[in-house]
Amino acid sequence: MEKLAVNEKNFKKSNIEKAANMLSQGKIVAIPTETVYGLAARADKKTAVDKLYSLKGRALDKPFSIALADSGQAVSQYFLTLNPFGYRLIEKFWPGPLTVIYYRRPEGKIGVRIPANFVARNILKQLKTAVYLPSANRSGEKEAVSADEVEEAFKEKIDLIIDGGQSRYKKSSTVIDLTYKPFKILREGVVSERQIASIFIRRRILFVCTGNSCRSPVAEYLLRRYLGKEKKAFLQRYEIISAGIAASERMQPPEYIQKIMKSQEGLDIAGFKANQLTKQMVFSSDYIFTMEDSQKEYIIKQVPSARARVFNLNKFLPFGQRKGIPDPAGKDFTFFETVYNRIKESIVELVDWL
């Protein structure tokens, strides 16, 4: 068995490459994470997986969770059908000490974690494939939080130990199973149940238009304002954001809109900056409101699983006025006022609906 020191201050790429190469060959490598040390083995190498079960003394009917280098890889390969709450958990706690379990067919369920530890992530990036990464201890025994503790527990039974110093938390990751409704915490570790509950109870509302400089920012600001006036406690229950399908990043609202919002609502929106719509925004939002049907169709085409959560904001207008909320870009002040009034009328009804 070999032991190599690697950390952010003493970063040797050759040691990272060696760890990745040994994993590629089907060997067992102990690596540091921010929680505890883990025993890594390529998930697609049967001989390595069999050895990992033997080292851990773990029953074969108890699957290991996998570890990957980044959350985008996890979502695209395993978690394309999570509910919005699940995506918000990933957004908040990955990379980090949270293991998420969800459905995977035909196997049943799969647990995934994205470690935050600098050394672990670099090894996983170099390897470019999933590894099983259970804690570096025999099942039922104390988890190792240093390379010396790993060496003491396994001696010559593993192939390489990457010494990254003491683990940051010295405590296991939290394991949450999202196949239960609403969720089930199988192990409370670094991330507390209270932290998870705070993500669960706060729904996300997303307004979408074309450029995210006129209509969707107006809707965002008005909903926040009227929720605060009518149902103040609801401001704690909703996160309100906006984006554009063709936004120029950091673009400010037009002068006409700024003037209208200042004079009619007393709101200064000059500091608002446009945001480009991303799939993560769509995945993680409980309610998505567009200004026109074309935007609704675009979102559904990009993320078909969002169909039941996407609405045209004009659904809150009187039946005869449901023609969408037109883009005022390039129009005169009167047109901007008309669009503002239509959005305001929709938002007032939306507040009651919420």
Number of domains within the chain: 2
Q: Can you give the CATH number for the domain in which 38 is found?
A: 3.90.870.10
- Say if CB 256 and CB 333 are below 8 A apart: yes
CA distance readout (Å), 64 to 31, 34, 58, 109, 185? 16, 18, 10, 11, 17
Q: Residue-wise pLDDT tens for the chain (354 aa)? A: 899 999 888 888 999 999 999 999 999 999 999 999 999 999 999 999 999 999 999 999 999 999 999 999 999 999 988 999 999 999 999 999 999 999 987 668 999 999 999 999 999 999 999 999 999 999 999 999 999 999 999 988 999 999 999 999 999 999 999 999 999 999 999 999 999 999 999 999 999 999 999 999 999 999 999 998 866 777 789 999 999 999 998 899 999 999 999 999 999 999 999 999 999 999 999 999 999 999 999 999 999 999 999 999 998 887 666 677 999 999 999 999 999 999 999 999 999 898
The first and second tokens of residue 351, run together, are: 């507040």
- Say if CB 213 and CB 249 are below 8 A apart: no
Residue ranges making up the domain that contains 305: 202-353
259 and 344 belong to one structural domain: yes
Last residue within a domain, chosen from 153, 175, 199: 199
96 and 222 belong to one structural domain: no
